[in-house]
Structure 1
């Protein structure tokens, strides 16, 4: 890899009529063995009021079956650009934009407004894919001089919204706007979240915290917006839900670097949740390779139900078999991962039993597994198991003798043309039709000897041969424990 510094780059000076401008041109080449992250320094003198960056790169034909060039970009100010140096982070757009700007008052979505500190800034290049011919890039950095504008004033979303006390609350845990690679403006996403009948949403932009500062300008009193981030590493994506406002988390590591346990500790110190996103996504860099130790949940349902969701469901179920015995288990959640207007917000959605519509209460409900996942707000589930005057709900445990009979009940509303499948550690044990109206209750009986846990799925009757039936909703398990 080669890259010229600002000192040796071609410079052009112009007068804009408002204040002086100077454009620095940086060129370089990246070969296929380039590192994941390439810092390119830019010297910024005192008196700069705005930085404008434009970049291009070539994309020669790579041949059949080979990926083309893709180059991500972001920027750090002089306070630090090394891994973990959150204080110097000023924005990231990945490959979603060809240009961006930063000033004290405003910034392109994905980037953070604030003072233009003099010193050495670093453009951070992320070569996602490189053709065998290599990747040549050209970056224009325009420095505009003049008095700085007023300070940007962030308005964070409140940590509570108008709720219904202890109740079931619906939300989408995985959403994007123009602050990363989404197409919706924040106000558009709020409107679509409300139209989907949701009570809360988690803001999960790729590798940036810039949206955090604007949600308070758009969120109504009865909608809870939880700050988060989608940490987009080269070895999988991690949805983090419940960050303190404005918090940014670094993404520049792989599983082999051994830093992931420290990342989890940092997340948990804030009381936030770490959720493996779309673990079996087939796209480059998206499949989860960090293991599941220390995570708080796994995103089983991501957007439209597809084969990789079905694989995730089965892998998660296998984890329940292995981990349920000692009380530690991994709850399942869902999110739409909606980026553009063609993708449905709330497909899937996580329905959480929480003490109120607050950040901490929603996170506590998810952490405890008191939740189910559904395709829309039309679908409602009640799932319980009862034995000897004790009743357990989703995410709970029943402690009983091995031969005690357990009555399992699933009430379904808003799901015509479906059936209920009950699954235990032994596999699917019952398949019971839902009335044609889509509303009804099905029952089944078991014992703790026969089932270590039981969970429910609602699936749609397929119109033709399929490798699996379309998912409508599924629950987290109820555990049936036998005291030792």
Structure 2
């Protein structure tokens, strides 16, 4: 089956996601889809798929072709039985210039399964010895675990396999890592095995991604439908017992512009795009909300050359009973979080009725009411202060650069 045409800017404004129906004949074992279009003027078309039973995959603008079969599928897509009947290719009109974009969609059926051909540019990551854990205060038997809550793999627009990503997380000393590929859960079946292999707890996540903003959902066993209003993402996550976080609310063209009927309880305040931390806009954003928002951080990692950010920069620390997905998500939901620029850098932690600073001598502790005190650490590199105020504490340099914060 082949379809040729032109998408116009008016088409995008009327309906951004375009389902293209096609009939799958009985006996089909493999569906192959290829999208070609003219990118010369900056056009971007997204790609996805749905079967008679619902969602079967999404690769956005990261790929122009995919295969779906009973035993395996292109990363980002779900393998499984190929039911006869009406299927849909999802075409997302992400960027359409005024002069339009010509496209060609080709769909091929086969009654024989083949290996999925792909060139994903794998990077070899050697598993090294894990760096020693930091000696941090415990709170009623719970301890602080270091992790990154935002990372991508080959299942969306990242370059690493899940195995390579988990190995990299171990080498940089992470205890946990949320794998949050865009608009898909095709990576879920591989997380448990690679968690056991690497010693890093891989949290199942998905970055619900649209033109008006992105959100992370951690721990949901089901796919979150990005076609619905953002408030329904929150409700679906809550119903599934998962956590919902607004991602990089102030970050260029992917800043958060969705309307929500209720305030989110968690936000990715510290994102790689906060590259100049003397800028106060993330702090201003979080303070404008009438109720406290639990701050988290995420590198938004895509590839190992540090573009746009290195894995684990920033680090989110979670106080939890154990390093399991359930315990970590419970710690986040309870507001037991802290963020630091790096795993070994200055740190501020809320520990019961005290706030403890670590490796922060000469920095400034800023209380929730914006009163300030200079940190003068003892021989252990620590100093504790009464945690008499609710809200976010942070560490700054004398030049007002934020170095760490805690809920």
TM-score between the two structures when normalised by the length of structure 1: 0.71
RMSD between aligned residues: 2.8
Q: Which residue of 2 aligns with 1:16?
A: none
Q: Deviations over 1:18-49 (max 9, x none)?
A: xxxxxx21112211122111011121111212
Q: Is 2:361 aligned against 1:362?
A: no
2:272 to 281, 288, 303: 303
Q: Deviations over 1:359-391 (max 9, x none)?
A: 222111111111101122213645458xxxxx5
**Equivalent residues in 2 for 1:278-289 (5 A)?**
278-283=248-253, 285-289=254-258
Q: Deviations over 1:232-257 (max 9, x none)?
A: 0222101001112xx2111114xxxx
Call closer, same or farther: CA 1:147–1:179 in 2, change over 3 Å: closer
SS of structure 2 residue aligned to 1:33: helix
1:248 to 213, 223, 228: 223
Query: Between Structure 1 and Structure 2, how many residues are aligned?
Result: 376
Q: Which residue of 2 aligns with 1:474?
A: 405
Q: How far apart, in 2, do the equivalents of 1:96 and 1:310 lie?
A: 33
Q: Is 2:212 aligned against 1:235?
A: yes
Call closer, same or farther: CA 1:131–1:383 in 2, change over 3 Å: closer
Q: How far apart, in 1, do the equivalents of 2:252 and 2:271 lie?
A: 13
Q: Is 2:57 aligned against 1:91?
A: yes
Higher strand share: 1
Q: How far apart, in 1, do the equivalents of 2:189 and 2:379 lie?
A: 45
Q: Deviations over 1:241-288 (max 9, x none)?
A: 1112xx2111114xxxxx4333322211221111000001111x4434
Q: Is 2:353 aligned against 1:392?
A: yes
Q: How far apart, in 1, do the equivalents of 2:67 and 2:240 lie?
A: 30
Q: How far apart, in 1, do the equivalents of 2:153 and 2:8 lie?
A: 32
Q: How far apart, in 2, do the equivalents of 1:48 and 1:118 lie?
A: 7
Q: Which residue of 1 aligns with 2:109?
A: 143
Call closer, same or farther: CA 1:334–1:437 in 2, change over 3 Å: farther
Q: Which residue of 2 aligns with 1:400?
A: none
Contact map agreement 2:230 2:260 (CA 8 A) in 1:
no
Q: Which residue of 2 aligns with 1:420?
A: 364
Instruction: Quote how far apart the aligned CAs of 1:348 are.
Output: 1.1
SS of structure 1 residue aligned to 2:165: helix
SS of structure 1 residue aligned to 2:297: strand
Contact map agreement 1:237 1:288 (CA 8 A) in 2:
no
Instruction: Quote how far apart the aligned CAs of 1:113 are.
Output: 0.7
Q: Deviations over 1:422-481 (max 9, x none)?
A: 1323xx3114155699934265x79x7xxx53543223466xxxxx52x321111xxxxx
Q: Which moved more, 1:332-341 or 1:431-440?
A: 431-440
Q: Which residue of 1 aligns with 2:118?
A: none
1:48 to 13, 28, 33: 28
1:430 to 365, 372, 387: 372
SS of structure 2 residue aligned to 1:278: coil
**Equivalent residues in 2 for 1:210-221 (5 A)?**
210-220=186-196
TM-score between the two structures when normalised by the length of structure 2: 0.84
Q: How far apart, in 2, do the equivalents of 1:278 and 1:185 lie?
A: 24
Q: Deviations over 1:173-232 (max 9, x none)?
A: 111000001111111110111122111111211000000011233222632111111000
SS of structure 2 residue aligned to 1:205: strand
Instruction: Quote how far apart the aligned CAs of 1:355 are.
Output: 1.5
Q: Is 2:165 aligned against 1:199?
A: no
Gaps of 5+ in 2: 116-132
**Equivalent residues in 2 for 1:31-430 (5 A)?**
31-34=8-11, 35-61=15-41, 68-79=42-53, 88-146=54-112, 166-220=142-196, 222-244=199-221, 247-253=222-228, 259-283=229-253, 285-291=254-260, 293-303=262-272, 305-306=274-275, 310-319=280-289, 322-323=290-291, 329-341=292-304, 342=306, 343-379=309-345, 381=347, 383=349, 392-393=353-354, 409-413=355-359, 419-425=363-369, 428-430=370-372
Q: Deviations over 1:328-353 (max 9, x none)?
A: x2211111110111231111121111
Instruction: Quote how far apart the aligned CAs of 1:54 are.
Output: 1.3
Instruction: Quote how far apart the aligned CAs of 1:411 are.
Output: 2.4
Call closer, same or farther: CA 1:146–1:318 in 2, change over 3 Å: closer
Contact map agreement 1:300 1:312 (CA 8 A) in 2:
yes
Q: How far apart, in 1, do the equivalents of 2:67 and 2:181 lie?
A: 18
Contact map agreement 1:278 1:288 (CA 8 A) in 2:
no
Call closer, same or farther: CA 1:32–1:274 in 2, change over 3 Å: same
Contact map agreement 2:149 2:178 (CA 8 A) in 1:
yes
Q: Which residue of 1 aligns with 2:121?
A: none
Q: How far apart, in 2, do the equivalents of 1:292 and 1:230 lie?
A: 20
